[in-house]
């Protein structure tokens, strides 16, 4: 199991890793100050806005997988907390 996770991370592009780390860090910073669902909602909205900005400005490449990488760990956390 551990090697499968390591293999998945190694295959991810640096851009996806950046999204994963930065948005998870932002989510974790929000948690002590606001309820978990608000922190999650803010994270999702910001991830969507970043992709919309990439699309409108033509400075980046908007990808659904960037959005998925941005909210992956916060989503797992919310699911585990809500169980």
Confidence (pLDDT) at 44: 97
Among candidate residues 35, 47, 49, 48, the one with its CA nearest the CA of residue 78: 35
Q: What pLDDT is attached to residue 8?
A: 72
Residues of the chain predicted below pLDDT 50? none
The pLDDT of residue 53? 93
Give pLDDT, residue 65. 92
Neighbours of 40 (CB within 10 A): 20
pTM of the model: 0.85
Q: What is the pLDDT of residue 2?
A: 66
């Amino acid at each position: 199991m551990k090697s499968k996770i390591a293999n998945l991370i190694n295959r991810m592009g640096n851009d996806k890793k950046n999204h994963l780390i930065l948005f998870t860090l932002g989510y974790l910073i929000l948690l002590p100050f606001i309820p978990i669902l608000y922190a999650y909602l803010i994270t999702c909205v910001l991830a969507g806005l970043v992709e919309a900005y990439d699309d409108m400005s033509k400075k980046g490449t908007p990808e659904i997988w960037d959005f998925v990488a941005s909210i992956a760990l916060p989503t797992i956390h919310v699911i585990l907390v809500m169980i």
